[in-house]
Structure 1
Amino acid sequence: MSQIPFDQLSKQYLEEFLSPLGKVTRNLEIPGESKFVDIYFAPTVTPSIADLGILGRMVQTSCLLEPYRNAPRRTELRSCLLKLLWLQENDRRKAKSENRSLPELPQLWILAATIHQPVIQEVAGQLDRDWLPGIYFLPKLFRSAIVAIDQLPETEETLWLRILGRDRTQERAILEVLALPKHHPRRNNILQLLANWKVKIELGEIEDFSQQEVLMAFSQAFLEWEQATRQEGRQEGRQEGQRTLILRLLTRQVGNLSEETRSQIHTLSIEQLEALADALLDFSTVTDLETWLLNHG
């Protein structure tokens, strides 16, 4: 019960980061097989490592992303590898039929909130000194790696991956998101996703959230998002009220307005609407209004 809703939420989370950078395909069906890749990503622009940290480095090329909230079992790891190989075979058949060279095999990233060390040993997972601790690469032939999220260093570089962790790892990552400046470009969107997770948890759709501290962190994220949403709603309401009043005053002052002129006024910011309110008493014709919009729009 717990894994399927977590899959859905983690896909939404990863799509938030990756969709501006390339093509994101959720539940990519492997032709001829009843198998689906959780996230298949093909970059169309170069992902920014400065913006996304280690996640940005991971998605520099086409890749499969398979998130797990619980420690993946051996059968699940084998299934991930089979998906990669089936995709390779499908690409090989397409390349042959179209008489072109075989494209490079995509990278498989298994995002595990936690993983058992004996499993790492069985798949011959090895750390790479060019990468961070907690990222175990399988033999090069397989183009695969397991990211043990609970073993990643707690730095800004790993924040966006640690949100997909669990227990104290996830709790501390949520608190780091809350501590970001309110104008941070990703903060509000991530808080919205976390608020969605909180609702799912309360409905019992995601189990294994036994850590009270984690639940409190989710609740705090929900409250921050709710407050920001209300503030945004008040701002929009204030702007709409000003716009309606100004349109009425303008109609009385200069006569009926064309749809084009009304559309222009609808695009004005609060500051521009306030300036228009100050100026409209000096208008005597629609031309005066149009001239003002041309200079201030």
Structure 2
Amino acid sequence: MTRFIHDQFAKDYLSELLSRFGTVETSKKIASEVREVDVWFTPSSCDLDVRELGLLGQLIVTPALFEPFRNPITANEIRTCLLKLFMVQAKWERDQESRKLRETDLPRLWILTPTASKNLLDNARAKEAENGPPGVYYLGDLYKSAIIVIHQLRRTPETLWLRLLGRGTVQQQAIQELQSLPQTNRWRGNVIRLIYNLLTILATRQNQEADRDDEVLIVTLTQLYEEAIAQLREEGRQEGEQQGEQRGEQRGEQRGEQRATLRLIADILRVRFQEVDEELAAIVEEIATLPSAEFTPLLLQLSREDLLERFAKERE
């Protein structure tokens, strides 16, 4: 199901953002039975500035458990998340034996959901903090837990890194904001690569199980992908112009564009198949002879065997 695809994206994404600030463990088992916390974060002892991550940064100043949901959370899922938190406490007490548990030792649980009904939040006794950001609902202090309704967050730079885990229009807008960040941004490049990977998987399974939101997301990501291709080619042309002599500027421009295209194709293959082995490397130049509008869907949708068969024949 595509829900599990988005779950894995959320784990990889949060790991990418949080690893600089402490220890991140995903799918961490907390009991002999199959119980896993999606993301377990422990702050490092280093004095790092978490403000770079906006609202998300405020959530990681203390140990944290993150449970992201692709679909609106249900009452049963809230209870399951709380059960995981209680099991974490029990495990900590067993591991520490005689050491007394302090409230600051126990992580806070952050449940991330795109939407949540008022009735569900009322039944959970979840309330927004006075003067706190809209969309963050805290359960009673005893439970050290909160539900973040992503689609209720303000559309500001401070909430960007959480809104990327929304769905539909909210996620699409966040992706566009991510693309417009300066290229010097610490996380922009790696997060975009994770999004490309998500696109690759969704496009591969589009005809099998994609829902309406996924279909729209595929269109958004494909547009982002095409923009990245155009940007790489422009960088290649500029590089070629700089390296070319005055009379050979055109040839230098063409060489630069070709290098950018080859690099892009190799990156896509690496994302899809983990590595570019000798067989795949042998067809990269052949693929690059096609316009990007033709080779992009082929790279995203064809299996490794189909790619090799198609372009190996064209080389013969």
The TM-score normalised by the length of structure 1 is: 0.73
Following the alignment from structure 1 to structure 2, what is the Cα–Cα distance between the partners of residues 185 and 137?
30
Distance in structure 1 (CA, Å) of the matches to 2:197 and 2:236: 19
Aligned CA-pair RMSD: 2.5
Matched, 1:193 2:190: no
Structure 1 residues 201, 134: closer, same or farther in 2, change over 3 A?
same
Superposed displacement of residue 232, structure 1: 8.3
Separation (CA, whole Å) in 2 of partners of 1:136 and 1:124? 9
Counting only pairs closer than 5 Å after superposition, residues 102-251 of structure 1 correspond to structure 2 as 102-103=101-102, 104-204=105-205, 207-210=210-213, 214-226=217-229
SS of the residue corresponding to residue 58 of structure 2 reads helix
Which residue of structure 1 lines up, in the alignment, with residue 16 of structure 2? 16
Secondary structure at the aligned position of 2:133 is classed as coil
Q: Aligned letter for 2:59? A: M
User: How has the CA–CA distance of structure 1 residues 129 and 59 changed in structure 2, closer, same or farther, with 3 Å as cutoff?
Assistant: same
* Other structure's SS at 2:20 match: coil
* Aligned residue-pair number: 236
Q: Which one is further off, 208-217 or 133-142?
A: 208-217
Q: TM-score, normalised by structure 2?
A: 0.68
Cα displacement (A) at 1:70: 0.3
Q: Letter of the aligned partner of 1:14 in structure 2? A: L
1:229 deviates by: 6.3
Match of 2:124, as an amino acid?
A: V
How many Å separate the matches in 2 of 1:231 and 1:94? 56
Query: SS in structure 2 opposite 1:53?
Result: helix
Decide whether the 8 Å contact of 1:47 with 1:56 is kept in 2.
Answer: no
Report the CA distance shift for 1:149/1:126 in structure 2 as closer, same or farther (over 3 A).
same
- Give the C-alpha shift of residue 230 in structure 1: 6.8
Q: Provide the C-alpha distance between the structure 2 equivalents of 1:231 and 1:57, rounded to a whole number of angstroms.
A: 38
- Describe the SS at the equivalent of 1:194: helix
Aligned-partner residue type, residue 55 of structure 1: L
Following TM superposition, by how much is the alpha carbon of 1:32 offset from its aligned partner in structure 2, in angstroms? 2.8
**Alpha-carbon distance in 2 for matches of 1:229, 1:145:** 42
Unmatched 5+ stretches in structure 1: 238-297
Shift of 1:25: 0.3
Structure 1 residues 15 and 209: alpha-carbon distance in aligned structure 2, compared to 1, 3 A threshold? farther
Identity between Structure 1 and Structure 2 (%)? 37
Q: Would the aligned equivalents of 1:21 and 1:47 in 2 still touch at CA under 8 Å?
A: yes
Give the alignment of 1:258-273 within 5 angstroms: none
